[in-house]
Amino acid sequence: MEELNEEPRFIEPNPHSPNFPPSASIRFRFGSRSIQATGSASDFDHPHSLFWIVSRAGGAWLQNRFPEWFLPERIVLKSQKNHWEDEFDQEVAAYDKLHRLQGISIPRLHGLIEYNHTRALILSDVGGFSLGTPEGAVLDKQDLDPLLCHALTSLTELGVCHDDTKLDNFLLVSDEGKDKVMIVDLESADFGLSEEDLAWTSKTKTNWLMRQYQNHLDCMEYDGVLLPKRPLRM
């Protein structure tokens, strides 16, 4: 990984993230390309940063050899947390093992860079809202349950268990007008379970998340921030 010497222009510090401010104009090196982007923190629960690439270029013949020229307009830079070297390595391994699911059930990993003397992942921005927010909690339980089960099962079928099952790591996303759940934050992915345990795990983790979802709905209703439910988009 090659680091660009030019320092980013920080607008204000962010106490939640030592690497990315809430608003910044940055430049970083990715392969053969120097990339300029502007953006801000993704959200409170995931303080890694969402950026909009200022300029794009490319041609079909370059795509396989130079992927840095084919980044989408919106990307997420997720930096390694302090003293989380093993977890960062685990997340990279998870994206490699789940390569077939990138852009389907998990974000797409475009590459690794070094930024501010720290390793970082360049991930696609999947959009949507986490289930832990009012905007992400707009489906009835019976509609959300199969979406969660499908997302978790897609991982376990490839031998990976998502071991940080909280609502913040599951996003309700619209894909070509249809609802689905995308999974983020794979630092705690587990590769060591048997096939039988993996099948059991996807079901139990779906049930656990659905209990969290019900408690979340109850809390939001009590606080007066619960949004109206809408039909499942199929």
Residue 204 belongs to a domain with what CATH number? 1.10.510.10
Mark residue 93 as left, alpha or beta (left: phi above 0; alpha: psi -120 to 50; beta: remaining).
Answer: alpha
Q: What does the pLDDT read at residue 25?
A: 73
215, containing H or E segment: helix 195-223
Q: Over the chain (234 residues), what is each successive 10-residue block's mean pLDDT?
A: 37 40 66 67 58 50 59 87 94 97 96 90 94 98 97 96 95 96 95 91 95 98 97 96
Mark whether 44 and 135 lie in a shared domain: no
Which residues, other chains included, contact 123 with Cβ-Cβ below 8 Å and sequence gap of 6+?
75, 76, 77, 78, 107, 108, 109, 110
Both 120 and 193 in a single domain? no
What is the distance between the alpha carbons of residues 121 and 76, in angstroms, rounded to a whole number? 8
pLDDT of residue 44: 52
Same domain, 13 and 115: yes
Cβ(49)–Cβ(42) under 8 Å?
yes
Give which of 82, 215, 105, 85 is closest to 155, Cα–Cα: 105
Contacts of 36 (CB under 8 A, 6+ apart): 25, 26, 27, 53, 54, 55
In angstroms, the CA 62 to CA 81 distance is: 33
Residues 103 and 169 in one domain: no
In-domain check, residue 3 = no
Residue whose pair of structure tokens reads 């609802």 in the numeric block: 179
What token pair was written down for 54?
Answer: 């200022």
Same domain? For 115 and 28 the reply is yes
pTM for this structure?
0.77
Number of domains comprising the chain: 2
User: In this structure, are 71 and 39 located in the same domain?
Assistant: yes
> Please, which residues have CB within 8 angstroms of residue 8's CB and are 6 or more apart in sequence?
24, 25, 26, 27, 116
> Is 1 among the domain residues?
no
One domain for residues 119 and 35: yes
Domain limits for position 98: 9-124
Do 92 and 119 meet the contact criterion of CB atoms below 8 Å apart?
no
Would you call 189 exposed, middle or buried from its count of C-beta atoms within 10 A (0-12, 13-18, 19+)? buried
The answer to the question of residue 87 being in a domain is yes
pLDDT at site 48 = 59
Contact 27, 6 (CB under 8 A): yes
Nearest to 155 by CA among 209, 187, 123, 199: 199
C-beta separation of 155 from 216 below 8 A:
no
Residues 120 and 14 in one domain: yes
